[in-house]
Structure 1
Amino acid sequence: VAFSETNLCFPQLFNISCKKPKTSLSQVLLPYVVVFSVSLLTVALNLLVIVSVSHFRQLHTPTNILLLSLAVSDFLIGLLLMPAKILRDTACWFLGQLTCSLYSYICFVITSASVGIMVLISVDRYVAICDPLHYPTRITDRRVKLCVCLCWLCSVFYNILFIKDDLLQRERHTSCYGECVFVIDYIVGTTDIVLTFIAPVTVIVFLYMRVFVVAVSQARAMRSHVTAVTLQLSVTLTAKKSELKAARTLGVLVLVFLLCFCPYYIVSFFGNELFNSSSASIVIYLYYFNSCLNPLIYAMFYPWFRKAYSKNWKLLHIRDIYVYPDQ
């Protein structure tokens, strides 16, 4: 017995249309509300970071430029990827296969760029803690901006490898109209796991292990000399303490990122069937949720973000607020 055409995504395409997801309004209402609420919060908080760092010149430090780029990627995740993901999981995909491919492409671009920024943040803290005398000359605003631009450009061009075959043979991967799936070639997928997951995570973990060892030794050295400090040494110790505190804060940021990011690639490692299944949605949402957590980490550890969040934006207080922006 033929089922009703009302159960089809495209009733006019009776033989090749997908069935509508068998979910009631009560079942999808809560996920819709939660995801869209998190999406709005992610957009608002990251927009606040973008405006704060962009507006105040006192915040144009190399570290904050990297945080600005990370906030841009998090903003795009909240604005584009979160709403599209919940619509893709709970309703028919009415936007066509080309839009589906472009959506997948944007997902990969933002993911790759975020990983690259995390590697740059780790390098920044490594030089600041392990080679502080050369930090001002090696890590400059101009070089950091160039690295950020290269990171995004490499992500854009690198991920064309994934979208190329899907654009040329879009109908090969779809069994019916009304679904949005993305299939990655085995060789390309393996290469991506190595370049976007294994290699960056290894670099991040190695650099932060070095940062942790050096930071502990510096903290002990400062405590041992705290009883005999001159005025000049006191200023030096304050600067070192600021760098150590910034390393701890960014260490929390990197750790949370890895906890949210690793399950995403662990699931994708097992192949396209699991990656496109509903069981993989939870790890993708976990990775997206990291974009909402990052501004909350800033709010917990960075005074400049709390000041920007408050209503006291008067330029009279800027100098007092941003003496040590990395604290």
Structure 2
Amino acid sequence: MAAARIQRWAIILSAYDYHITYRRSEEHGNADGLSRIPLPETIDDGTKTITASLNALICEHLEEAPLSAKQTSKATRKDTELSLLHRYIQLGWPTEIPENFRVFHRKKDELSVEQGCVLWGTRVVVPEKMRRVVLKEIHDEHPGIVKKTIARQYVWWPNIDMDVEKVCKRCETCQLEQCMPRHVPLHPWEFPGGVWRRIHMDFAGPFMSHMFMIVVDAYSKWLEVFKMSQITSAATITRLKRLFAAQGVPEQIVTDNATTFMSDEFQLFMKRNGILHTTGAPKHPATNGLAERCIATFKAGMKKLAKEILSVEDKISHFLLRYRTTPNGTTGESPADLT
């Protein structure tokens, strides 16, 4: 209503031209008093109805408040722990402090009693039977764990933060709407002690209308690229047999959880050759980061050769020659020198 009144006066006054003259404060007199004169009571039934409704809403909300000094005082007297704490505050603390009272004893200089309620500073120490009601009120609009900061301004009891967190974690609505957790730094792979002990594998494509199998040695960064007409387990095993005939059988192979690598046929091939097969976390390709980086390097290199009039196999050969003879940023040596 106030905003509408101001807007109405702004429209009325916009019809006038103003000449503003500076005047010192001593010459103002009590002109500012006009802005402090109470407005006349409105005889608008609609306004009165709205005001009455607002007042009734506020009173209704206050009547449903979960805490009152009378209720808290009554619950404090019935609470085994707080009733004893109430006596300690008023009559003095014993020489030997029980284990469950040490958390209160550390705050003894800040504890007080007001209207039968135990206070820590300006915060009410809530009896155990009323804590569930308080937690429900705190979590009424699903504010999340951050609400515990606001809760600590008014109420307190031992482990209040833990209780607020438990309520949030058990709330299905909060769990569905919560933000994704921050990414945890990946544990780096241990650097192998020699060439061709651990290799990383993955498929790239469809790229340039083909699928490619990427194999990289973790020690020397030696890269192998095979154009695949199909990426079945049988076709993959056939390529690996030819590769192992040239380079030797590795001790460990790291792949993702693709069906090709998880099939019984591929697992049996690993077992028969005594190879430890390690897979990354599902839907987290970064766990096989070496293969992912080599795929990106391979694609970038092939795109640079896009204008060359060469077959795909010849482009792969040109790329591998340049890659294998270039010093690697991690090892400082070219893959050809370390193999």
More strand by share: 2
Is TM more than 0.5 here? no
Higher RCO (C-alpha 8 Å, min separation 6): 1
More helix by share: 1
Normalising by structure 2, what TM-score?
0.18
Larger Cα Rg: Structure 1 or Structure 2?
Answer: 2
